Each structure stands twice: as C-alpha cells, then as structure tokens.
C-alpha cells in the first residue's frame, strides 16, 4: 500500500509546484516602491575574513597634487569599513588592503573602485559615494573603439555637447555622475542608469548622435510615471530613427583610362646603336666622338655662366621710376566780378554795426518833425 500512496503523492506534487511558481512570479513582479536591501552588518559575519585581500592601481602624474591633498579624507572614509589605504608617490600608485576587523567581504571591491575613480580624475566628493550599497560604477574604455584620432576627438566632444549641455542632460536622465577623461568615461550611480550610460557612450563612438538616445530616455521617463503602462510593451511609443548614408562615393585622384584595344604589340624602344645610326654618330671616329662630347660640355658650361651673370646683374638694374604727375592749374572758367565786390565793400563801410539803414533814418526824422509841429 505504501508504494501506490507514494506514487499518488508524486503525481500531486508537480501541480503544487506549478501553482507555487506562478504565485512566486507574480510576487516578484510587484516590488514595493522605495524598497531597499538591508545593510550588511557585523552580525552577518561576526568572525571576519580569513585572508587579507589587496588591490593597487597607478595614477597619472597630474593627479598627484590633488590625491596628496585629499588622501586623509580617503583614509577616513575607508577606515569606517576597516580598510587600510596607502599612497605611494614615488611609484605613483594607490593600494587598499583589508584588516582583521573587516567584516564585509565586498568592502574591498568598493575600495578598489574608489581608487580607480580617483585615478580617472573623478573628484573625491563624488567618488566616495561608491561606498554606499545602492551606488555602483562603470569605467568605459573608448580609446580603442575609433581608429582615426580626429574622428575620436569629434565623437568624444559630441558626448560632452556645447558647454557640457549633452552630458548634463544625460546625467539628469540616468541619475548618474559622468566624467569624460582621456580615453575613458567614468560613470557613477544606480545600476539601471549605468546600463543606459554605457549604451549611449558606445553608440556615440559608433557615430550615432547622443541626442537620439536622450530623446528615447525622455520618453521612457514619462512612460514610467503612468502605472497602467508599466506592464506594457513600449516599442510603439519609442521613436525609430532611420540611418541615412548621405556621403557620396569618393572619386580616386588618378583615374585609369582604358586604352583602345589593338591586336598589334607596342613598338620596340630604340636602342643606343639605333639612335647613333639615325644621327650619323655611329660612323664617326673615337677622337671625333670625344671632341663632340667636350664641345657639348663646354656649351652647357657657357650657358650656366651666362645665366649666373644675368642673376648677378639684376641687383644693379635700377627700378623704374613712376612718372611725375603735373599739378593741374586752377580753372579760370568762372570769372570774378571785381566791380560788384568793390560796391559791397563800400556799402559795408557806410553801415554801422546795429544801426538802421539811411532810408529808415530819414523816415524816422520826418515823423518826429511832424509830431513837434502838431504840439
């Protein structure tokens, strides 16, 4: 009886498991907002670590002054997690090691990321955030993605945008801090944001402008606010950008023009003997040939001497003077009326400044006499 009962139980079990799985999946999909994983404490690992772990990284020369200044703050931040940090200025390296008191095994990984970010020119205020549980980092190597150096510099500048506007928009949409330095892009923030940052950076290096990805992120941000659309597919809302190849095919500098086909082979080049036979030099004696060569050499030398002498004489040739331009005489077309000017001068002398003209004075005197008579 035991055997058939066991078989029945086994037959019942798959159904139960399927039902349990369905319940578990539905529970996993509904994660409460603002939920955080509990922090790792000493109670979780009371005995500490068995082995000592350490990581080291080199830093460039220009970061030495800044690291020397902020190193006490780095040591203070790491001491809270019981991790030692040493700065070697001679070798140009930073090292982090665990201690006997270290209880969190992942603390050394966070310390390693901290010194990596500091080496990549990330300021301490931002880099120290990596020690938090909900913050991660990603260092994207972009130096080897583009062969041509000029194209690489243009695409890296495209990632920054005018006055850093593109980078700022990307930071706001992904909630990440992004630092573009040399051949790497350092990003610091939540995991979901880092994923988007990596995609945008790699697409930019593949000659896809970051504005397209920024538009997509903006639409996704608005869609995530609607609780009804959270469980739906967003493909219909997202823009689809078609790639246009506008570049024309480059024409070669040297064009190979095909010659017309002829069944006959090209003529054979003339030999030295053929040339001598054509000029008649072949039949001359050796002494005559020698004399002719000497005469040709002398003629060449004479031409060279003549050219050299002409070049020297150029310095003694006076420059051509510009012709002297004669001053044009004043035009006497308009004749001056001297008599009219004399009359004007006489009239001006007779007049006194502020005085009335003669006719007005006579009229005034006559009017005064009439008034006296009436009285």
* Residue 307: alpha-carbon gap to chain centroid: 55
Residue 11, pLDDT > 50, answer no
Minimum mean pLDDT among 155-169, 181-195, 326-340: which range? 326-340
Provide mean pLDDT across the span 1-21: 45
| CATH code, domain with 109 | 3.30.1370.10
Nearest to 203 by CA among 173, 160, 159, 149: 159
* Residue-wise DSSP of 106-124: THHHHHHHHHHHHHTT--H
Q: What are phi and psi of 185, to 5 degrees?
A: -125, 120
Provide mean pLDDT across the span 204-221: 90
- Higher per-residue pLDDT: 231 or 173: 173
Provide mean pLDDT across the span 337-342: 80
- pLDDT score of 131: 93
Domain membership of residue 236 (yes or no) is no
Domain membership of residue 69 (yes or no) is yes
Provide mean pLDDT across the span 213-227: 88
Please say which residue of 261, 285, 311 terminates a domain: 311
Please say which residue of 107, 133, 159 terminates a domain: 133
Domain membership of residue 306 (yes or no) is yes
Structural domain range at position 99: 40-133
* Tally of domains within the chain: 2
Provide mean pLDDT across the span 14-19: 45
Domain membership of residue 300 (yes or no) is yes
- pLDDT score of 305: 94
Domain membership of residue 307 (yes or no) is yes
Please say which residue of 84, 103, 133 terminates a domain: 133
Domain membership of residue 177 (yes or no) is no
- Higher per-residue pLDDT: 322 or 84: 84
Residue 314, pLDDT > 70, answer yes
Domain membership of residue 184 (yes or no) is no
- pLDDT score of 339: 80
Domain membership of residue 71 (yes or no) is yes
Residue 120, pLDDT > 60, answer yes
pLDDT in tens, 273-283: 888 888 888 88
- pLDDT score of 179: 93
- Higher per-residue pLDDT: 190 or 21: 190
- pLDDT score of 130: 94
Distance CA 116, CA 138 (A): 10
- pLDDT score of 106: 92
- Residue 54 near residue 113 (C-beta atoms within 8 A): no
* Residue-wise DSSP of 165-227: HHHHHHHHHHT-EEEEETTEEEEEE-HHHHHHHHHHHHHHHTT--HHHHHHHHHHHHHHHH-S
């Amino acid at each position: 009886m035991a055997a058939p009962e066991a078989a029945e139980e086994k037959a019942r079990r798959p159904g139960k498991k399927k039902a349990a799985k369905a319940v578990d999946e539905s529970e996993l999909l509904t994660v409460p907002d603002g939920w955080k994983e509990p922090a790792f404490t000493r109670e979780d690992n009371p005995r500490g670590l068995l082995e000592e772990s350490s990581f080291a990284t080199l830093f460039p020369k220009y970061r030495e002054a800044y690291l020397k200044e902020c190193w006490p703050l780095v040591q203070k931040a790491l001491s809270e997690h019981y991790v030692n940090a040493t700065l070697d200025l001679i070798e140009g390296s930073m090292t982090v090691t665990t201690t006997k008191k270290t209880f969190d095994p992942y603390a050394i990984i966070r310390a390693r990321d901290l010194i990596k970010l500091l080496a990549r020119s990330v300021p301490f205020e931002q880099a120290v955030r990596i020690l938090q549980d909900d913050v991660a980092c990603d260092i994207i190597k972009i130096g080897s993605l583009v062969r041509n150096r000029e194209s690489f510099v243009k695409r890296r500048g495209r990632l920054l945008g005018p006055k850093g506007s593109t980078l700022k928009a990307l930071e706001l949409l992904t909630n990440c801090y992004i630092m573009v330095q040399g051949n790497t892009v350092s990003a610091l923030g939540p995991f979901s944001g880092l994923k988007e940052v990596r995609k945008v950076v790699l697409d930019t290096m593949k000659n896809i402008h970051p504005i397209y990805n920024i538009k997509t992120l903006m639409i996704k941000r608005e869609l995530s606010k609607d609780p009804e659309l959270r469980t739906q597919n967003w493909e219909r809302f997202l823009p689809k950008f078609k790639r246009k190849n506008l570049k024309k095919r480059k024409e070669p500098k040297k064009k190979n023009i095909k010659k017309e086909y002829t069944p006959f082979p090209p003529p054979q080049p003339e030999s030295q003997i053929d040339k001598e036979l054509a000029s008649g030099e072949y039949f001359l004696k050796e002494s005559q040939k020698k004399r002719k060569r000497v005469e040709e050499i002398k003629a060449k030398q004479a031409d060279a001497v003549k050219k050299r002498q002409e070049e020297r004489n150029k310095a003694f040739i006076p420059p051509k003077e510009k012709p002297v331009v004669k001053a044009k005489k004043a035009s006497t077309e308009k004749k001056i009326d001297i008599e009219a000017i004399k009359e004007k001068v006489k009239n001006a002398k007779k007049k006194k400044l502020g005085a009335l003209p003669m006719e007005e004075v006579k009229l005034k005197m006559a009017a005064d006499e009439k008034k006296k008579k009436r009285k």
